[in-house]
């Protein structure tokens, strides 16, 4: 990938950005796959770069489980936290904001500005809590489609995302192939496995076991902080590989020379997990965690779009694909990406696949990787060149 | 292993057995590695088979995290539950009770008859709770040594165990090499890794997050059932492999044709985990779970017995070793057994190693496996033959 050696993932970002809000389904409710209907629906979103006059440079970024619309840049004022994919999105980066118009929205069911269980239920004037309908990855994507229509984006050069973001990307390609010129699916799978479901279920049980969860009705009292922290700790273990944990922590002790012979956080890895748990509680809504993990567990693209056949689910349109897995990712192992790639090939899709050697486990897709940035930049560049050629030829 | 083709793991067991109790440290307290002292100390134990006059046929079985002394047979009367290693221990089985005298005791710190945090603190007349001293795998083994002395067992033909039982086996070999003719360590490691510690820590946090845990003082009120159930569910995920989960559950639904669009246990794997959580709460003490996992996390044989060198930890005596790992065990992966084997070889020990192809993950060591039973039987047989020859020659 020497042609992309000048990528600057560590370089300057997109600068100051602004969180925007788009509200729809004010008159007609938004009907979910379950049959339940909600409205109005608000999506929080951000954009970086500018849409070309021909509309051919839009890139939709889909976030993972606990991500949000703040994928790149910094907010004005009080919160200088950079976006969660700062290493990938920006001038001269893998998704080059000098060339592309990037859109990222918080998923439906989320808690970072989009409508979710913590939002007010218009019928009661109180937070939805568990009265919020259980939703699907398909519902999240359908809501994003309404946002894109609102923004005047008729077609995206690429939908890009990792983990649950990758599921949304695949859902986009199966549901709206005519809208998605290319799909970049990182560290993901076409359906959730028993192991995925098991980890999510235990995390959910940790939340509902917390008395402060109170059947989901805790918005006027203490939050289920202990349960949510445990849920997050479980997640963090699955995001790292055994090897990454050995390199990062090993059996190192935290601020002490020997064991405490107590239940203090003697080991660095204990201290790390407790910290991650505490930090998460400050920013995330426990009910959103329940709903979003449930949506991911329900995800089975072949079942939803192909009557049980993943190949059939990808039989429409001519979306091209880039699929990337990471060698040490045991949560979304490479074999799951290979299954996806095989189905895409059988469906006649143009697909590139790469397993990146990386020791950091599932987290690798979020980390600074010239290899990954190069793959994404190259895929976008080739797709745009081919799309331009097709447009000049008057092809759809 | 054709010579052991007549092993009958599924055959009749040792029949009716009885749980016994041995109490020591009544006058002099038992001093732990932390420096804390407790007494009296009771160990619950069972034995199967008969000790030969030459005392050369004793086999010590060490149990894993949540096991107990009931390794084989059935109790008289009310509780017909077979022992946890019924497939391995019995007439004609891997550990043949027609030929061997088998001893298994509940670990110090446990809750199945041995002294632990749920026992009465003689100074207060109330359950110890968190006043119970944090203990080590070394302490568990030292207590077992007192029991063997009491039973008149001067030497064991083999110490055998898997997982945390395997740690005790290794501790035995490093601490009392003159007592252990051979050591059979299954699905284990010479030290706990960051990943092991991480899973244990999250399980402990699930318990202490339960308000009913009440700082460990819950013996006269409701038990921290929710927290302990979540801890157990985490454990169960780590005991199975991704592959095993796919075969056992896949995305199968539990008693329903379609999703509930609720947070019910739609998936079989969810139902399984919830059931395992509930069942565990009935039989296990939450504080014991904290203490025993802590002991396992503190385990680092090279640090304790070899000044940081695992090879040095095994430099004394002439214990012979059988080390077995399982291909799909991601909790105690084969590379950890290989590290152990390399250290044993460098220390000049006689060691056999086998990685068994098995899809069931860490649980494999507990399951019916003619291959494993054959390996254990063969190792015991050869060890006994060589020991007899040495005894006839007057060697130590």
**Could you read off the pLDDT of B70-129 as tens digits, one per residue?**
999 998 766 778 999 999 999 999 999 999 999 999 999 999 999 999 999 999 999 999
Q: Is B88 exposed, middle or buried (CB count within 10 Å of its CB: 0-12, 13-18, 19+)?
A: buried
**pLDDT tens, A242-282?**
999 999 999 999 999 999 999 999 999 999 999 999 999 99
| Catalytic pick among A96, A297, A300, A329 | A329
Other beta carbons within 10 Å of B381: 14
Give the pLDDT band of residue B395 (cuts 50, 70, 90).
low
Instruction: Starting at the earlier edge strand, list the strands of the sheet with B182-186.
Output: B20-24, B41-48, B101-105, B58-62, B158-162, B182-186, B320-326, B351-356
Chain A residue numbers with beta carbons less than 8 Å from the beta carbon of B246 are 193-195
- Supply the DSSP string of A196-260, one letter for each residue: HHHHHHHHHHHHHTSGGGGGG--TTS---HHHHHHHHHHHHHHHS-HHHHHHHTTT-BSS-SS--
Q: In a mutagenesis test of the A interface, which of B31, B203, B205 is the best target, namely the one with the most A β-carbons within 10 Å?
A: B205
Kindly calculate the radius of gyration of chain B based on its CA atoms and give it in whole angstroms.
Answer: 21
Binding-site positions of A: 232, 363
Residue B337 clears pLDDT 50, i.e. is over it = yes
Express as a percent the part of chain A with pLDDT over 90.
Answer: 91
Chain B residue numbers with beta carbons less than 8 Å from the beta carbon of A133 are 261
For residues B387 and B396, give the distance between their C-alpha atoms in angstroms, rounded to a whole number. 9
Kindly state the tokens that stand for B206.
């699930």
Q: In a mutagenesis test of the A interface, which of B31, B138, B201 is the best target, namely the one with the most A β-carbons within 10 Å?
A: B201
ipTM of the complex as predicted = 0.94
B175 is in an annotated binding site: no
Phi-psi category of B216—alpha, beta or left, where left has phi over 0 and alpha has psi -120 to 50?
left
For residues B143 and B44, give the distance between their C-alpha atoms in angstroms, rounded to a whole number. 11
Q: Nearest CA to CA, how far is A283 from chain B (Å)?
A: 19
CB pairs under 8 A between A and B: 154
pLDDT of res. A333: 97
For residues B125 and B326, give the distance between their C-alpha atoms in angstroms, rounded to a whole number. 45
Establish whether the linkage from the previous residue to B40 is cis, with ω within 30° of 0: yes
Closest residue by Cα to residue A236 from A198, A289, A204, A275: A275
Chain A residue numbers with beta carbons less than 8 Å from the beta carbon of B133 are 261
Mapping DSSP onto H, E and C, the string for A246-285 reads: HHHCCCCECCCCCCCCCCCCCEHHHHHHHHHHHHHHHHCC
| Residues B180/B141, Cβ–Cβ less than 8 Å | no
Residue among B202, B246, B259 whose CB faces A230 most closely? B202
Q: Is A249 in Cβ contact with B201 (below 8 Å)?
A: no
For residues B161 and A235, give the distance between their C-alpha atoms in angstroms, rounded to a whole number. 31
Chain B residue numbers with beta carbons less than 8 Å from the beta carbon of A198 are 233, 237, 245, 269-270, 273
| Residues B303/B333, Cβ–Cβ less than 8 Å | no
Residue B350: phi and psi, rounded to 5, are -80, 115
Q: Is B194 in Cβ contact with A267 (below 8 Å)?
A: yes
Chain A: residue whose CA lies nearest to B300: A251
Chain B residue numbers with beta carbons less than 8 Å from the beta carbon of A193 are 242, 245-246, 251
Give the side-chain half-sphere CA count within 13 A for B131: 14
Chain A: residue whose CA lies nearest to B204: A263
Give the pLDDT band of residue B234 (cuts 50, 70, 90).
very high
For residues B254 and B132, give the distance between their C-alpha atoms in angstroms, rounded to a whole number. 42
pLDDT of res. B396: 56
pLDDT of res. B388: 82
Active site residue B220: no
B222-227, long-range: CB within 8 Å, 24+ apart, which pairs? B223/B281, B223/B286, B224/B286, B225/B281, B226/A209, B227/A209, B227/B286
Residue among B130, B202, B300 whose CB faces A273 most closely? B202
Worst-scoring range by mean pLDDT, A387-396, B211-220, B360-369?
A387-396
What are the structural domains of chain A? 2-192+301-392 (3.40.50.1820)
Active site residue B362: yes
Residue A2 clears pLDDT 50, i.e. is over it = no
Kindly state the tokens that stand for A162.
């990792």
Chain A residue numbers with beta carbons less than 8 Å from the beta carbon of B210 are 209, 226
Helix axes B164-175, B286-298, angle to 10 degrees: 50
Q: Is A206 in Cβ contact with B210 (below 8 Å)?
A: no
Kindly state the tokens that stand for B148.
């063997």
| Catalytic pick among A114, A362, A369, A379 | A362
B204 is in an annotated binding site: no
Q: Nearest CA to CA, how far is A64 from chain B (Å)?
A: 21
pLDDT of res. B78: 66
Chain A: residue whose CA lies nearest to B242: A195
| Residues A205/A174, Cβ–Cβ less than 8 Å | no
Residue B194 clears pLDDT 80, i.e. is over it = yes
Chain B residue numbers with beta carbons less than 8 Å from the beta carbon of A211 are 211
pLDDT of res. B5: 42
Residue B10 clears pLDDT 60, i.e. is over it = no
Q: Is A208 in Cβ contact with B245 (below 8 Å)?
A: no
Chain B residue numbers with beta carbons less than 8 Å from the beta carbon of A264 are none
Angle, CA B236 vertex, CA B215 and CA B372 arms, to 5°: 125
Contact residues for A307 (Cβ-Cβ < 8 A; gap 6+): none
Q: Nearest CA to CA, how far is B213 from chain A (Å)?
A: 12
| Interval A33-57 mean pLDDT | 96
Chain A residue numbers with beta carbons less than 8 Å from the beta carbon of B275 are none
Q: Higher-confidence residue: A5 or B301?
A: B301
Residue among A206, A245, A263 whose CB faces B195 most closely? A245
| Residues A192/A164, Cβ–Cβ less than 8 Å | no
Chain A: residue whose CA lies nearest to B237: A198
Helix (H) and strand (E) counts in chain A: 11, 16
| Interval A188-206 mean pLDDT | 98
| Catalytic pick among B226, B329, B337, B379 | B329
pLDDT of res. A3: 41
First to last CA, chain B: 30
For residues B233 and B157, give the distance between their C-alpha atoms in angstroms, rounded to a whole number. 36
Worst-scoring range by mean pLDDT, A6-15, A101-110, A256-265, B2-11?
B2-11
| Residues B174/B347, Cβ–Cβ less than 8 Å | no
Establish whether the linkage from the previous residue to B58 is cis, with ω within 30° of 0: no
Chain A: residue whose CA lies nearest to B290: A263
| Interval A4-19 mean pLDDT | 70
User: Can you tell me whether residue B340 is helix, strand or coil?
Assistant: helix
**pLDDT tens, A66-124?**
999 999 999 876 677 899 999 999 999 999 999 999 999 999 999 999 999 999 999 99
Express as a percent the part of chain A with pLDDT over 70.
Answer: 96
Worst-scoring range by mean pLDDT, A178-182, A242-246, B9-13?
B9-13
pLDDT of res. B299: 98
Q: Nearest CA to CA, how far is B229 from chain A (Å)?
A: 9
Q: Nearest CA to CA, how far is A377 from chain B (Å)?
A: 33
pLDDT of res. B81: 86
**pLDDT tens, B280-293?**
999 999 999 999 99
| Residues A168/A103, Cβ–Cβ less than 8 Å | no
Active site residue A329: yes
Q: Is A230 in Cβ contact with B205 (below 8 Å)?
A: yes
Chain B: residue whose CA lies nearest to A36: B261
Q: In a mutagenesis test of the B interface, which of A138, A245, A251 is the best target, namely the one with the most B β-carbons within 10 Å?
A: A251
Using CA of residue A329, residue A332, residue A334, residue A335, what is the dihedral sign?
positive
Q: Is B245 in Cβ contact with A195 (below 8 Å)?
A: yes
Residue among A205, A263, A290 whose CB faces B233 most closely? A205
Residue among B263, B294, B333 whose CB faces A263 most closely? B294
Q: Is A292 exposed, middle or buried (CB count within 10 Å of its CB: 0-12, 13-18, 19+)?
A: buried
Chain B: residue whose CA lies nearest to A330: B242
Binding-site positions of A for substrate: 232, 363
For residues B178 and A162, give the distance between their C-alpha atoms in angstroms, rounded to a whole number. 56
For residues B247 and A139, give the distance between their C-alpha atoms in angstroms, rounded to a whole number. 30
Contact residues for B198 (Cβ-Cβ < 8 A; gap 6+): A233, A237, A245, A269, A270, A273
| Catalytic pick among B70, B100, B192, B362 | B362
Contact residues for A75 (Cβ-Cβ < 8 A; gap 6+): A16, A17, A18, A19, A81
Q: In a mutagenesis test of the B interface, which of A36, A261, A289, A359 is the best target, namely the one with the most B β-carbons within 10 Å?
A: A261
**pLDDT tens, B206-222?**
999 999 999 999 999 99
């Amino acid at each position: 990938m020497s042609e992309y050696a000048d990528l600057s993932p560590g370089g300057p970002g997109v600068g100051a950005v602004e969180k925007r809000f788009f509200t729809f389904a004010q008159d007609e409710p938004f009907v979910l796959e379950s049959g339940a209907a909600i409205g109005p629906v608000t999506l929080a979103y951000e954009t970086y770069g500018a849409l070309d006059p021909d509309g051919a440079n839009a890139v939709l970024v889909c976030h993972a489980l606990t991500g949000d619309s703040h994928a790149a840049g910094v907010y004005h004022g009080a919160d200088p936290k950079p976006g969660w994919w700062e290493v990938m999105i920006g001038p001269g980066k893998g998704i080059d904001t000098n060339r592309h118009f990037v859109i990222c929205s918080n998923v439906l069911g989320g808690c970072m500005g989009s409508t979710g269980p913590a939002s007010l239920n218009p019928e009661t004037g109180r937070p939805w809590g568990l009265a919020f309908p259980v939703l699907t990855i398909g519902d999240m994507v359908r809501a994003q489609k309404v946002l894109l229509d609102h923004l005047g984006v008729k077609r995206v050069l690429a939908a890009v995302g990792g983990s649950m973001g990758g599921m949304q990307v695949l859902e986009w390609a199966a549901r709206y192939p005519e809208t998605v010129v290319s799909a970049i699916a990182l560290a993901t799978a076409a359906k959730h496995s028993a192991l995925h479901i098991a980890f999510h279920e235990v995390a959910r049980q940790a939340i509902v076991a917390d008395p402060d969860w109170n059947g989901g009705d805790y918005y006027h009292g203490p939050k289920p902080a202990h349960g949510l922290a445990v849920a997050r700790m479980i997640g963090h273990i699955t995001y790292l590989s055994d090897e990454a944990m050995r390199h990062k922590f090993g059996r190192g002790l935290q601020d002490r020379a020997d064991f405490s012979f107590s239940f203090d956080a003697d080991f660095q890895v204990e201290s790390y997990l407790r910290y991650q748990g505490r930090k998460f509680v400050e920013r995330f809504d426990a009910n959103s965690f329940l709903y979003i993990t449930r949506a991911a567990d329900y995800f089975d693209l072949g079942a939803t779009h192909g009557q049980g056949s993943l190949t059939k689910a990808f039989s429409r349109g001519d979306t091209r694909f880039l699929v990337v897995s990471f060698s040490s990712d045991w949560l979304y192992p490479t074999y799951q990406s290979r299954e996806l790639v095989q189905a895409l090939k059988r469906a006649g899709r143009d697909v590139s696949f790469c397993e990146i050697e990386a020791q950091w486990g599932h987290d690798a897709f979020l980390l600074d990787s010239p290899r990954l940035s190069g793959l994404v930049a190259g895929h976008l560049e080739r797709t745009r060149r081919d799309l331009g050629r097709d447009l000049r030829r008057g092809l759809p």
